[in-house]
Structure formats: structure tokens, C-alpha cells
Amino acid sequence: MTGTLDEAALAELLREGRHAEAAARLAAAGETLRAAELYASVWKYPEAVECAERAGRLDEAYRHALSGEDRAAQERLRDRLLLEPEQARRAAGFAETKGRLADAALLLDRAGDSAAAAVLYERAGELLDAARLLELSGQLREAGRLYEQRLRESPEDGEAALRLGVILARFGRYEPATRVLQKAADAASGRAAALRLLIACLDALGLDRAAASRLDELRALDPALPVTVPDYLLASFGDARGFAALARDSASSAGPDASRWLAGRYRVVRPLGSGGTGRVVLAHDAFHDRDVAIKVLNVADGAQGRDAFARFVREARLAAAIEHPNVVRVFEFDPSGPFLVMEFMAGGTLEDRLAAQRALSPADVRPLLDALLEGLAAVHRRGVVHRDLKPANVFFDAAGTVKLGDFGVAHLADLGATLTGAMLGTMAFMAPEQISGGRQPTAATDLYALGVLLVRMLTGALPFPGPDFVQQHLESLAPAPSVLRPALGAAYDPLVADLLAKAPSARPQSCDDLRARLASLPWPALADDAPAARPAPGTQPPPAAPTSRERYLPAPDSVRLCAPDLGATLARDTVLERLVWLVPCDDARLAHFRACAAADHPHLQAVFDVDVATSTAVLEAPAGQSPSAESLRTPTLAASLLEALESLHAAGLAHGHVEGACVVTSPERAVLLLPARQSADATRASDLTQMRALLG
């Protein structure tokens, strides 16, 4: 029974500082919530908890238990709050403020706010719980990332291995799924579940004996299971060929779009090119949410098909073993396709650029050569000779980074292999020893091809134009670059003569040797004064590349600035039909954006070009808007921005302005915009501090 509250007497008690006595009178009068606040103000937290509970406000009682550091009361109230979603959400805010992240995540989880709960679980280090919520909400890529992180921290975690194996298998990634499921099968908990999925993955990989062996282990746990793998798969998946076959069957019967999936994971977007032995397609990797290029081999019957497959496998193994910023990255090789998954080079090839320009300015050639030499040096350090260096195998990513690719005819220098296939490659760029097959290719063989490429870039013509390439490479002397393009002068003539020497021993012997020669030469910016290449009979010469003034036209609408003090203008790239920012630059800013171009990441603003002649940097103009505080707390957006920042740090740069004004978000992606220039006091640590503040 409650008493009557005398407000005047209550006020007098408060003036006299007798708060506990005032709180007791409030509680006696039934004003338990007011009483709880008064008790808390004089640190009588047990009484505050009791009064708030009597008022039916479990969230307020939980807040007072947090303030009083009463762990027993916190746990008791937390369990009761799990039945009160609205109060649980408010209590989660109190718990987060006090640093009780795991408790806050649990409360939000039970309140149905899975996205916010996943973020808090991850911040609390509870990766399994965070991944579980992401998986339930269909965010499999993010869930897989957390399971992988958990396994790096705790390699023996069978539950994380099992869940990651399930995700990988769903995307058709049977080989990595097999590896993690073997870990899960070795753990006591979840062994049977891991074995069931492991058998299907091994069968999908064609490892019949391994699948049968694992089925024997599973039958030791459950003797009622079928004896043979096909019978087991039929009972488990409704098809004796397992779920890999089911995925293929469902794709072929689900309509025209479904059949354009590879391995149940890569959605084919469009063809990029084709040749006698296969094709290359642009695809979207559903697991990692990125565009990739996939080279698919068409294997013929007989010895010719076996040789083509052997070269394809060798390319996959060689390319996957080389990790370098100037070498096209290989993500995966699937021998069952067979196909090779590589990073997508959105900037096209050097062949594309040379088709549009008869010759390049020496100032533009030098950075291309430097990048190619870096990539070639990485290849040669692995004991590999590329043997097919030509413009079509020199790629550009979206940021303009030069990358060497296509190791289809590469040769391991230390294997002592026969010269079978030595004639592979493009004749116009082949060294004499390749054509004659008289000796094993070396690094000097690639440098000969680089010499041909150098002449083509500087003059717009090939030193040996054919059609009798064999006779010309073996016997003829190449014309000096100064003859083909007089404006060059004679500075490059000795270097080209050495690179195109008939005897490999007379050429530079390594990329380092050539790099030293390049440093001693002038590389000026020249106008396009090369004579027009003579078109073949019945064809038209390629159109000249548009000048910067013609290529970039003002965009119709004004758009927000990329970053503070950038001074950029929005323009339309008429060649590639995209919006770009044109940024006026001094020498320091040109160097800054050139360095930023090396930090290539899909969620970092791309540097498309750095034009020294016009003192202009051409940057990506990402579509979108400034992020809201709520959107910055979503796991996928936060992870994207952190990865973009890490790519900048990996290039040896710091941002210095990690704030909302430097972020653009859209339904497709989040983009971290580049700073106007390198800040003198910016560090990796200060960037991460700013990022934490931005993400809350």
C-alpha cells in the first residue's frame, strides 16, 4: 500500500541533502522510478535497482546495476530483458556505453536487431556470434570473412571450420571447403556434420577414394548409412552425383540467365575475348562481391588437347605463385572447368592504347617501362621466363596501374624441359633463339621482346614488320628509332640496338641492368609528330586519340567536391563514357596522386591518369552521397572503408582526412575519397583513430 506524497516536505529534504530519505518517501508513495533516480544520485545502486524493477522498468534497473558494477544483478536483469524487446534495445545502449559490448550485442540479438548486434559482437571479439547473425541474414561473404578470422586466431575451432565449410560449399568452392571441413572433422564436436559435407565435397572434386574413406568413418558413427558413396549421395542429396551435379543441373534448367554461372559462384557478365584454345569472360564473384576475368580453356581431344591443358595448368600454377603489384593476380584455378580466375583489368591493354595512338611520348613510355621491368623482375626471380611479352599481355587496372599477365607459354628456366612448344608466342616480338629453338629461353629473351615493344611505343612501328618474321628476326638489323621517328633524336638508338642483338649474350642480362640504362636517358614530352602508319591495303588507319581538351567535356550538373580543398571540376570522359574529376596539380600534388595510383582497391577512389603535360590528375567521380551516421555502422560498409584505408597504407601513404566528407556511399559500394595532398603529420595510427571515430 502506498502513502501520500508531500511534495513540500520532499523538497525540504532535498534542500537539506537528505536524498536517501527523500527517495524512501517516494518509494513509499509508489513513485518508484523517481525514487530509483534519487537513490542512484547518492550511489545507493541496490536500492535504485530494486525501485526500477518495481516500476517495471528493467532497462533502468539494468542501467543502475551497471553503474553499481553489480554483475549478479546485471545477469539476472539481462535474462529478464531478453523477453522485453523494446526495453532490451534501450538496455543495450547502456551496456555499450559502459563497454559491455557482448552483453549489448546479446540484448540487441534477442530484440531482433541482428545487424547492430553483429557489429557489437565483432567489436567484442565474439566472432562466431557475429558471423552467425550475418549468415542468417544472408550476408555470406561477410560471415565467411569472420569465420576465416576466427580460424586464424583459433585454428582448432571446429564450429568455425564447419560453418565456413558450409559457406564455401554453397558457392562451389569445394577445394577450400574440403580443407576447412577436414579440420572440423578432426574436432570432437560436430564431427558427423563435417563428415557428411566433406564426403560430398570430395566427390565433387573427383576424389573417389578419399570420399569412400570418409564415408567409412561416418558409418562408424552411424552404421545405418549406405555403404557406397553414390548411394550415400542419393540418400542425402537426392542425386547420386552429389550437390555439385545438382548445382549444374539446376543452373541448366532454371532459364537462360542461370546457365551463365560457373561453379555455382561466378555469374558471367559478358565475353572479353577469345582465341583458338579458349575464351575470356567478365564475371562477378558472388562470394567476394567483385568483378573478375575468367579464362576458360576449350580442350580438344587427343595429344593436342592434352598439351593445351598442360600449358593451361602450368600458366595457373606459375601465375598463382607470383604476387606483385605489376603482375596480374590469379585468385583461383579450377581444373574441372578448366578455368582460371584473375583480377579484372578494367583499363584494357597496351594494345588498345597503341591502336588509338600511333606513338607515345617518351615521357609516357618511361613509367610504362618501369612498371614492366618491376613485373618482369618478379617473374624472373621465380625462375620463370615469360616468352610472350607483347602489347596484348600488358594490362591496366581501373587506376591505371600497369600489370603483366598471360603466362600461357611461360617456361620454367630451371626444369630442363624440352623445347616442345617453343614456337608459341607472337612472331613479331619473338627473340631469335625462340624462333630457331636453338637454346633455352632466358631473361634476355624477354628483354628482346621488351626492345621490340619499346620501338613500337616510341615510333608507332615494329622494327620487323613482317611478313617474313623468321628471316627478319634471324638475319636483318632493326632500323634505329631515330630513323622511324626523327624527333626522338639518337638517344635511344644504342639501347634499342643492344636489346635487339641477335646473340642473347650481347643484350642486357637482367631487368636491373636495363633499369640502370633507362635512368641515364632523357624522356621528354614530345608532340605527336610520328608519321602515320601505312594502313594495309583495303583498310583505314586507326583514328588519332583525342586530345585532353577534346576527350574531357564539362559535365552538365554540379556535384559535391571529392575532398576538402581539392579544387576539382566534374567532366565527362568521352572515350570511356564516365564521369571524372579533373584536378589541377602542382608538382607535389602530381607526385601525390601518382603515389595514390599504386593503392588499387575497389572501395578507394581511383586515379585514372596523372597528366604531367597539363598538370592535371584525372580521378574517379564516384556516384552517391554522403553517408548517414547509421549507415556508417553497418558491417559491410565499415569493412569496405577499412580495407580501402589499409590499401592506402600498404602503398606507404597515410590519408589524414578520414571523415564523412571523404566518403561517398551508394547502393552498390562505399568509396573512400583521396585527400588533396599528403598531410605532413598524417600517420597510419592517426588514420585509424579517425576511422574509429567516423564509424562510431
Distances in Å between the Cα of 301 and the Cα atoms of 298, 308, 408, 617 are 10, 10, 19, 52
**Neighbour tally for 329: CB within 10 Å:** 17
For residues 201 and 599, the model is more confident at: 201
Residue type present at position 132: R
For residue 575, name the pLDDT band (cuts at 50, 70, 90).
low
Select, from the ranges 326-340, 402-416, 498-512, the one with the highest average predicted confidence (pLDDT). Answer: 498-512
Tell me, what's the pLDDT at 634?
Answer: 74
Tens of pLDDT, residues 49-95: 999 888 889 988 888 888 888 888 888 888 888 778 888 888 888 88
Q: Report helix, strand or coil for 585.
A: coil
- Residue closest to 197 by CA, chosen among 151, 238, 233: 233
Tell me, what's the pLDDT at 495?
Answer: 94
Tell me, what's the pLDDT at 553?
Answer: 80
Chain-centre distance for alpha carbon 481: 41
Tens of pLDDT, residues 625-661: 888 877 777 777 777 788 888 878 877 888 888 888 8
Tell me, what's the pLDDT at 545?
Answer: 40
Q: Which residues pair with 268 in a beta bridge?
A: 283
Mean pLDDT, range 583-597, rounded to an integer: 84
In the predicted model, is pLDDT for residue 374 greater than 50? yes
- Residue closest to 447 by CA, chosen among 508, 369, 538: 508
In the predicted model, is pLDDT for residue 9 greater than 70? yes
Mean pLDDT, range 238-259, rounded to an integer: 42
Judged by average pLDDT, the poorest of 88-97, 242-251, 310-319, 495-504 is 242-251
Q: Are 327 and 373 in contact (CB under 8 A)?
A: no
- Residue closest to 326 by CA, chosen among 399, 247, 409: 399
For residue 255, name the pLDDT band (cuts at 50, 70, 90).
very low
In the predicted model, is pLDDT for residue 452 greater than 50? yes
For residue 681, name the pLDDT band (cuts at 50, 70, 90).
confident
| Cell numbers given for 326 | 605489376
What number of residues does the chain have?
A: 696
Q: Report helix, strand or coil for 330.
A: strand
Tell me, what's the pLDDT at 243?
Answer: 53
Q: Report helix, strand or coil for 82.
A: coil
For residue 208, name the pLDDT band (cuts at 50, 70, 90).
confident
Tell me, what's the pLDDT at 458?
Answer: 92
| Cell numbers given for 342 | 584473375
d(CA 451, CA 679): 40
| Cell numbers given for 473 | 628476326
In the predicted model, is pLDDT for residue 608 greater than 80? no
Which spans in 82-157 are helix H?
A: 85-97, 101-110, 114-123, 127-136, 140-153
Q: Report helix, strand or coil for 672.
A: strand
| Cell numbers given for 374 | 618491376
Tell me, what's the pLDDT at 253?
Answer: 34
Tell me, what's the pLDDT at 116?
Answer: 82
Cis omega (within 30 of 0) for bond into 226: no
Residue type present at position 691: M
d(CA 405, CA 382): 15
Q: What is the mean pLDDT of the chain?
A: 78
Tell me, what's the pLDDT at 491?
Answer: 93
For residue 544, name the pLDDT band (cuts at 50, 70, 90).
very low
Tell me, what's the pLDDT at 382?
Answer: 74
For residue 196, name the pLDDT band (cuts at 50, 70, 90).
confident
d(CA 619, CA 305): 45
Distances in Å between the Cα of 661 and the Cα atoms of 46, 396, 626, 677 are 46, 29, 7, 15
**Neighbour tally for 689: CB within 10 Å:** 12
For residue 252, name the pLDDT band (cuts at 50, 70, 90).
very low
- Find the helix or strand (DSSP H, E) in which 432 lies: helix 432-436
In the predicted model, is pLDDT for residue 385 greater than 90? no
Mean pLDDT, range 150-161, rounded to an integer: 86
* C-alpha distance across the termini of the chain, in Å: 47
| Cell numbers given for 387 | 616468352
d(CA 650, CA 509): 31
Positions marked active-site = 388
Tell me, what's the pLDDT at 368?
Answer: 92
Gyration radius of the chain over CA positions: 33
In the predicted model, is pLDDT for residue 40 greater than 90? no
- Find the helix or strand (DSSP H, E) in which 61 lies: helix 58-67
Percent of the chain having pLDDT more than 90?
7
In the predicted model, is pLDDT for residue 305 greater than 70? no
For residue 238, name the pLDDT band (cuts at 50, 70, 90).
low
| 489: region left, alpha or beta (phi > 0 left; psi from -120 to 50 alpha) | left
